[in-house]
Structure 1
């Protein structure tokens, strides 16, 4: 048993989904996504039993490239996040009708394949290939099946593609340079390099550009809100729930261990950028009239805080960042699904045109409220565990980091509860709003159960990720 099983399932699923045709595409895609989730759980069980689940084989002789996959606790946590969210995302889309559905769902599974590969890759070039492969399906998903004015959508999606690709090229140059020093792309060989301070600075900067755009951090965020708004909700969920986690994960896995001295030198600057994103995203979210755009800026604020913790260079920061990555993945998918449910009924995302939904849809209202409270880190929700750990880690560096970062709780509570009030409460709307369907309900309940369960009992995830994070910290501080 090795981790390549998950990649095989997802790749085979993408091919099968395309072949079966439009009628069965969504159901076949859901079946394979669930198979990938089961495969991930089986792999996790073998990992916990101490068995070897890694996979490695020579690929290209010159330059020396090894198709190497390694799954420690950190990588498995991100794989489980991906394989758990993809079935929920696919199921939640059953109420939508897509033209050329076979291509749409095949691209969703292929994107999941690329993201899982990114999390598992232990060879720099293999990692870069998976990193870039993930960009291709989301480009077509947003471009072809997106919403709004066609020309505006094209501009937003093309800008996203070009900016992201340009940032990644700097990372490729860094890998080529590291190969010239180590004679290998294997992560274990790259970790052993002794780079000068100047070399580390350039390597750190090259990786930072790629990751800051993907996460995104301000001022590299300009693509985010428009793409989140213009993409179909499935695409927005994939971007916000999983794809941006590729950047945050890669900070811990690649950037910091390869340039530890530069990381220590530039830590205050990067943490300041993350916290600035918290404040900026929250303030801009306050003034949004479009529900989907408000959620996009809310996501920007939350990932800014996660990024600050990822660069904290202490165990609590790393652990809080990973916990919050996972919690944010589930809650943001749930919030975008709630926005999509409203759009299906009213065909508008303009907050001013909504209201009075609670009277007509009490079940949906209750579920939406739980998601809103989870997003503002209410105690007993998974987000509270991650956010508290993040703020605690920042306080160990400088109390003002924690104070300023904590504004996300105050500002987030204000704009999220204000949004909920305007969208859901008030007198009955003249338009009929039917309560959630079974498919919508199952998707939301699955997310809520995970948020509440790990809000009360985060120990399994803590135990899974801590040894890997301790190993990374040991490399950084060695």
Structure 2
């Protein structure tokens, strides 16, 4: 079995969902999302945790122009495949208490987006990677524009312009690498073997960086993010923060740094500095937020800034920490947005100042919310702790002062998250919060799954790290050898 089934199954599912009546659409969408998770589980069980790329498909697509449908899974991309296939069914299930106009189109767009995301995370051809990148952008644009808040058109257009402009820089960079390739293909490994001058690599690095920095987003390319996360429907916010921003982080690992290692060697200090500024900036702005979704949005800027900083250290501990933290952040941020979705549907507000005492009327909900908060603030034995510990360790290897500043994210996050939890859940109930509609079965199931993942990964992170270890070692060796002008491993 090749990775093609993982890419095309969501497309087939989306087409099937489109022709169904609205009430049936969500059940069929969830069925196919769980089936996709089953396919990913099959690949995981049969995956050999070494540095090779497995389940490869390499078929001519437009061979006249050197374009092949070339995709596969190694340890790094396996982590992203797991992230995508685990979160999509959770996100679909989280929408069960909503009623959407044209629901069949809504769920079909989610499945189309899943196909684009998986294409990005498995592509081994530059043109194919770009197709997946854009294929993931288009569905989320329509999800936000059609089902978002009252300012959705203006905000979503800003998001689209930002990300599409960044994509153009990436496309130009990919075409440039193609033109430098004697074999005139977009094959990733052929790109890795190109002999480019330091100046050429610096421009290649910056071309990729603009696209990836916008998608992540890194400071100061972040201005589209808070408004978009706030105005998007809850499922859209989960897709954007839980999975889509990881495209930029993954792109840096797979396409930017290995293709331009001398560019990385020249610019990594600057980018680590920008990432750490984003860590502090996002946390400070989160302090002032009363809107729950905006608080989560700025918190996300802070957390992904730390992930990016760890990636650009190009150390084993930094990259491993980044991969497990991408997975953990996705789970936690989906949980946070879902909690605020539950609150918003019951009280018609996202303002934490208008809430209070919910724990008295909904203790089980409050307990689940607390577990998600503790995972977000990286309490030991939760999933957030594992990645943040490794990431801070990698920054310590680079610069102890940078590590200390970045480490403020743990303190800041604990303050603003626990304060938010206190305002919303503790204290006395008021006229608004005195009653709480009982959690539906789908809501209980989503919260239970998220809490189990938070605790499970926090206690047993080893198996996940083992999946990516060999591929991470190979990546770091490739980059270091290219910086020193040595041949890269096959």
Check whether TM > 0.5. yes
How far apart in 1 are the matches of 2:241 and 2:284? 19
Say if 1:46 and 1:53, in contact at 8 Å, map to a contact too. no
Query: Out of 446, 460, 464, which is 1:461 matched to?
Result: 464
Give the deviation of 1:435 after TM superposition. Answer: 3.4
| 2:259 corresponding residue in structure 1 | 258
Say if 1:360 and 1:434, in contact at 8 Å, map to a contact too. no
| 1:89 corresponding residue in structure 2 | 91
| 1:417 corresponding residue in structure 2 | 418
TM-score scaled by length of structure 1? 0.98
| 1:442 corresponding residue in structure 2 | 445
* 3-state SS of paired residue (1:348): coil
Say if 2:234 and 2:338, in contact at 8 Å, map to a contact too. yes
* 3-state SS of paired residue (1:23): helix
* 3-state SS of paired residue (1:466): helix
Task: Give deviations 1:59-89, integer Å, cap 9, x for gaps.
Answer: 1122110100010011111011100000000
Give the deviation of 1:289 after TM superposition. Answer: 1.5
* 3-state SS of paired residue (2:2): coil
Give the deviation of 1:250 after TM superposition. Answer: 0.8
Say if 1:357 and 1:429, in contact at 8 Å, map to a contact too. no
Say if 2:49 and 2:75, in contact at 8 Å, map to a contact too. no
How far apart in 2 are the matches of 1:464 and 1:215? 24
How far apart in 2 are the matches of 1:458 and 1:351? 33
Say if 1:360 and 1:435, in contact at 8 Å, map to a contact too. no
How far apart in 1 are the matches of 2:12 and 2:126? 25
How far apart in 1 are the matches of 2:178 and 2:49? 34
Q: CA RMSD in A?
A: 1.1
Give unmatched runs, 5+ long, in structure 2. 482-490
Q: How does 1:337-348 map to 2 (within 5 A)?
A: 337-348=338-349
| 2:337 corresponding residue in structure 1 | 336
How far apart in 2 are the matches of 1:7 and 1:163? 26
* 3-state SS of paired residue (2:65): coil
Q: How does 1:41-190 map to 2 (within 5 A)?
A: 41-48=41-48, 52-147=54-149, 149=150, 152-182=151-181, 183-190=184-191
| 1:7 corresponding residue in structure 2 | 7
Task: Give deviations 1:291-349, integer Å, cap 9, x for gaps.
Answer: 11011000110000001011111111100111110000000000100000000100110
Give the deviation of 1:451 after TM superposition. Answer: 1.2
How far apart in 2 are the matches of 1:48 and 1:446? 27
| 1:26 corresponding residue in structure 2 | 26
How far apart in 1 are the matches of 2:67 and 2:374? 47
Give unmatched runs, 5+ long, in structure 1. none
Say if 2:49 and 2:470, in contact at 8 Å, map to a contact too. no
| 1:474 corresponding residue in structure 2 | 477
Say if 1:241 and 1:333, in contact at 8 Å, map to a contact too. yes
How far apart in 1 are the matches of 2:374 and 2:102? 37
Task: Give deviations 1:397-416, integer Å, cap 9, x for gaps.
Answer: 11112101100000000000
How far apart in 2 are the matches of 1:23 and 1:370? 32
Say if 1:271 and 1:311, in contact at 8 Å, map to a contact too. yes
